[in-house]
Every structure is written in structure tokens, then in C-alpha cells.
Amino acid sequence: MQIGDPAPDFSARSTEGEVKLSSYRGRWLIFFSHPGDFTPVCTTEFVALAKHQNAFEALGCALLGLSVDSLYSHFAWSRAIEQHFKVKIAFPIIEDPSMAIGRAYGMIDDRSPDAAAMRSAYFIDPSGIIRAIISYPHNVGRSVEEMLRLMTALQAVDDGNGLAPEGWQPGQALLATPAEGGAPLAEGPDWFCRPLP
């Protein structure tokens, strides 16, 4: 899968019942994989995602997790997280024991014997188009703060009238988009990189 591709639809069992990806149309979605339940790095990610779920929901963004583990493992792990870390995993976690969904999304390649390298996230817009992809190795956790920032930035530039500069944060100025044919954005030495008024 690449940025700009339609997100492949699927139906699968999850901790919140049967999930169909296309049922998320009309809102933003972060669909993310993790290598395995009851693993240290994944646990820290899920704790952070659970703590920030309200912030994602305020952006009109749903969370949807996936791993090769069984539904029963997902339930047991979610309960263990709630008991030990005092946070509830309220978003669905999909089971993918055959790795069919992971392979369809390129989270794992066809030669992989297992899902050990699977730690990817797909930022999907309300029309079902993949707008960003982040991938990490199994031994490095994702930053939930960066996932929030990226989602906010994608929404800020969604109308095509601005660009989000390095490190952009909500409330900061966007950059002007380049003119057709490479014409200068404005007079002056910063003609090629100007904030929007």
C-alpha cells in the first residue's frame, strides 16, 4: 500500500464485535498493527493510545488495532492492561491469525514466517484513501504524540490551500503552496517558503 491508495476493505472479528473497514467511511481512521499481545513495547503503545483516545476522537478520528493474536489473547491482554495500568482499551483490536489483512496492507511481506516485524500505522481519510503511513521496527515504539500531530496536520492541509512545515503544531501558521509552474509565491528573498497570512 502507498499514500493515495484506497484502503483495502475487510471484515474481521475484534474485541468490539465484527468490524468492517468501510464502516469507518465519513470519518478519519488510524489503522495500526502491533507485533504481539503481552509484549513490552506494544503494551506501552496501547497504554498511551488509550490515554489519548479522547484527543483522537475530538479530531473525528477512530482507532483500530490489529495483530496476529487470537481474539481471546486480545481480551486477556486488554484486561491485564486495565488491571495493571488503570486504563481501558476502548477501541477495537482485530485478530489476524492468517496474516491475510497484514499482508494485504504490506505490514508484513509474503516471505515473512510471522508478524515479528509488524508495527505499521495507516492514516485513512473519510473517503477511505490512505493519506500517510508510518512504519517502525518491532523493537522501537511509536510516538502517540506524533500520531496526534500528524493527524492534526493532515486535517489542516486537507483543503489543499496550505502546507504543514517541519514540526508544525496546531495554531501555528501553515506555508503557502507553490504557484503553478514554479512562479514565485511573492516578492522578497523568502519567495519560495512563505507562511500563509
Better pLDDT: 136 or 57: 57
- Residue 102: inside a domain: yes
For residue range 38-84, what is the model confidence (pLDDT) as tens digits? 999 999 999 999 999 999 999 999 999 998 889 999 999 999 999 99
Single out the catalytic residue among 42, 61, 68, 164: 42
The CA distance from 121 to 135, in Å, is: 6
Residues 149 and 197 in one domain: no
- The DSSP secondary-structure symbol of 144 reads H
Residue whose C-alpha cell is 489543499: 160
Helix, coil or strand: residue 17: strand
For residue range 77-117, what is the model confidence (pLDDT) as tens digits? 999 999 999 999 999 999 988 888 888 888 876 666 555 55
In this prediction, residue 137 has a pLDDT band, given cuts at 50, 70 and 90, of confident
Residues 42 and 127 in one domain: yes
CATH number of the domain that residue 43 is part of: 3.40.30.10
Residues 133 and 57 in one domain: yes
Termini Cα distance of the chain: 36
Residues 70 and 117 in one domain: yes
Average pLDDT value over all residues in the chain:
89
Domain range enclosing 166 = 162-197
The confidence score (pLDDT) of residue 61 equals 98
Residues 184 and 91 in one domain: no
The CA distance from 186 to 191, in Å, is: 5
- Residue 109: inside a domain: yes
The string of DSSP letters for 31-47 reads EEE-S-TT-HHHHHHHH
Average pLDDT over residues 186-194: 68
Residues 115 and 191 in one domain: no
Distance from chain centroid for Cα 111: 24
Separation in Å, CA 104 to CA 4, 97, 107, 109, 145: 16, 13, 8, 9, 27
In this prediction, residue 150 has a pLDDT band, given cuts at 50, 70 and 90, of very high
The confidence score (pLDDT) of residue 114 equals 59
Residues 173 and 90 in one domain: no
42 is catalytic: yes
Residues 81 and 109 in one domain: yes
Average pLDDT over residues 119-139: 94
**Predicted structure pTM score:** 0.91
The confidence score (pLDDT) of residue 65 equals 94
The confidence score (pLDDT) of residue 62 equals 98
Q: What total number of domains does the chain contain?
A: 2
The confidence score (pLDDT) of residue 104 equals 87
- Residue 117: inside a domain: yes
Instruction: Encode burial over 93-130: b for 16+ CB neighbours within 10 A, e otherwise.
Output: bbbbeebebbbebbbbeeeeeebebbbbbbbbbeebeb
- Residue 192: inside a domain: yes
Residues 168 and 96 in one domain: no
Residue whose C-alpha cell is 503494551: 43
Residues 108 and 52 in one domain: yes
